A = this chain, B = another copy of it.
Amino acid sequence: MKCIFCNNTETKVVDSRESEDLTRRRRECLICQKRFTTYERAEDPQVYIIKKDNRRELYNRGKLKGGILKACEKRPISLEKIDIGINKIESKLRTLENNEIQSKLLGEEVAKMLKQLDKVAYIRFASVYREFEDIGDFKKEIQILSKRRG
């Protein structure tokens, strides 16, 4: 693993910790001795996302996570819970027979997941991917949520 500071190719592991779905390693360059962090994780599901305009784009965890994090900004949701949620979604993606999914359907999956975690994040996310047309849509959605759990 190349050192991110001096580009030397030899580094050693000084610590490694494994969690649910990833392994974090702390590495040290054998030359400059600076340290940096690496992550090992399963490769993304090889699935095409079919956009509204029918363009196909490879699924990208980072991109999906970015959108989710935006919806979760300042909300009391741990990164771990979000990662576990994304893992569940990816499990579903891996079972798709034709290796493709409409972005709308993927959005619904994310929304479903967020609904379990945090209502505010859910609403924020839904407002973007469903393209709520006006504030009325928010109100409707909020009412639905309010009825269900106080």
Contact = CB atoms under 8 A, between A and B. Distances in A.
Contacts of A65: 60
Given A58-B66, A62-B61, A4 B94 contact: yes
A124 interface: no
A43 to B, nearest CB: 5
B94 A42 contact: no
A40 interface: yes
A47 B18 CA distance: 25
A130 interface: no
Interface of A: 1-2, 4-5, 7, 9, 18, 20-23, 25, 36-43, 57-58, 60-63, 65-66, 69-70, 87, 90-91, 94
